[in-house]
Amino acid sequence: MKLPRILAPVVAGLFAAGAAHAQVISLITTPAGSFSNSAGAAMAKVVSEGTKLRMTIQAQAATGFEDLEAGTVEFNVGNSFDTTFFALGQEEYKARGPAKSIRHVAAMIPYRVAMHVRANSDIKTIADLKGKRVSSGFNAQKTIARIIAAHLANAGLSYKDVVGVPAPNVVRQAEDFKTGKTDVLFFAIGSGAIKEASVAVGGLRVLEVNASPASVESINKLLPGAYILNVKPRPNIEGIDKPTNIIAFDMHLNSSAKVREEVVYQVVKALYNNKKKLMSSFRPFALFNPQTMGKAVVGTPFHPGAIKFYREMNLWPPK
């Protein structure tokens, strides 16, 4: 049935108003071009298209945990060990004490990280980094310094064995590598920044980590919950031309106790049901397993909205 001409614009206006008044929620990621930012953008697209929410990205130098704790944003993405340290007030966050409002929402995809050198570099192993120029400091992203330290420890080295080149965050250290200020580049494999660096320097090569039990233990002392993955060559992964052992740890979506249960429920449901759409926006979501979204994080309580959904899917309690 056709609407009267007078009513049609009114009804159209109501639909437009409904879309305009969708609740806006924010997701904090690391800077544009980073792995977390690309993953976050894919998640925001799925949430915005599949719910009555509109998720926007806030790309910033820091991780956003302070904003979550203060209740000024709704979500962030962070790795498993950094989330634990912040929630418990340990390591880099010891001075501020335990966080009371951080809530775990979902385990998403693994961060697969590696130290990269120029393809024609004479640096063949992580042990060869002794005396070389390595990015350090990371005042805005202290977790990056910790991950690099874990790579060095895997080869029996520490920051005392290399020449530290201060950088505020992971994106700046990528620029330093491209301009020749450092000899090695840390980043998540498959990220946009790695692709740009590979083009800029004429190709990259990943430095493999040692998978022996003692070497893995040295990693876990610095990165609780980290593990070794063997990655096979893929056209979309720069620097790997043979099966290579690298460090991995899980990316987690976090929220705050101040965020309504229904909001978190809708977000988790949209992500759970849309793996293909996530993959179409960011290929690493091929590693996303909806059945393990309820994986726990030490020291971080689950948000009630996430628990509600996991109960419905028979994914609660965490296996």
Q: pLDDT of 166-198, one tens digit each?
A: 999 888 999 999 999 999 999 989 888 899 999
Both tokens of 278, joined, read: 């996530």
* pLDDT reported for residue 30: 87
Q: Are residues 46 and 16 in the same domain?
A: yes
- Identity at 274, one-letter amino acid code: N
**2 belongs to a structural domain:** no
For position 20, what pLDDT does the model report?
Answer: 53
Q: Can you tell me the distance from the alpha carbon of 67 to that of 76, in angstroms, rounded to the nearest whole number?
A: 9
User: 231 and 307 in one domain?
Assistant: no
Do 279 and 215 fall into the same domain?
A: no
pLDDT for 12: 43
Q: Is residue 319 part of a domain?
A: no
pLDDT digits (tens, 9 = 90+) for 208-235: 999 999 988 999 899 988 999 999 999 8
Whether 318 is in a domain gets the answer no
Same domain, 219 and 264: no
- Which helix (H) or strand (E) segment is 171 a member of? helix 170-178
Q: What is the pLDDT of residues 254-296, one digit of tens each?
A: 999 999 999 999 999 999 999 999 999 999 899 999 999 999 9
Please check whether residue 1 lies inside any domain of the structure: no
Partner residues linked to 249 by β-bridges:
111
151/244 same-domain check: yes
- Choosing from 201, 224, 249, the residue where a domain stops is 249
For residues 103 and 129, state if they share a domain: no
The band of 110, judged by pLDDT with boundaries at 50, 70 and 90, is: very high
What's the total number of domains in the chain? 2
Residue 194 lies in a domain: yes
Q: pLDDT per residue over 23-62, tens digit each?
A: 999 999 988 878 899 999 999 999 999 999 999 999 987 7
Residue 310: HSE in the Cβ half-sphere, 13 Å Cα cutoff: 24
User: 297 lies in a domain?
Assistant: yes
Shared domain check, 205 and 168: yes
Residues 241 and 258 reside in one and the same domain:
no
Same domain, 87 and 156: no
Grouping H, G, I as helix, E, B as strand and the rest as coil, residue 59 is strand
Same domain, 196 and 229: yes
Domain boundary residue among 234, 249, 264? 249
Q: Is 250 exposed, middle or buried (0-12, 13-18, 19+ CB in 10 A)?
A: buried
278 with 160, same domain? no
Domain ranges, residue 67: 7-109+250-312
The whole-angstrom separation of Cα 61 and Cα 37 is: 11
pLDDT of residue 4: 45
CA distance linking residue 118 with residue 212, whole number of Å: 26
CATH code for position 285: 3.40.190.10
Boundary of a domain, candidates 214, 249, 284: 249
Same domain, 262 and 197: no
CB distance 74 to 26 below 8 Å: yes
3-class secondary-structure state, position 118: strand
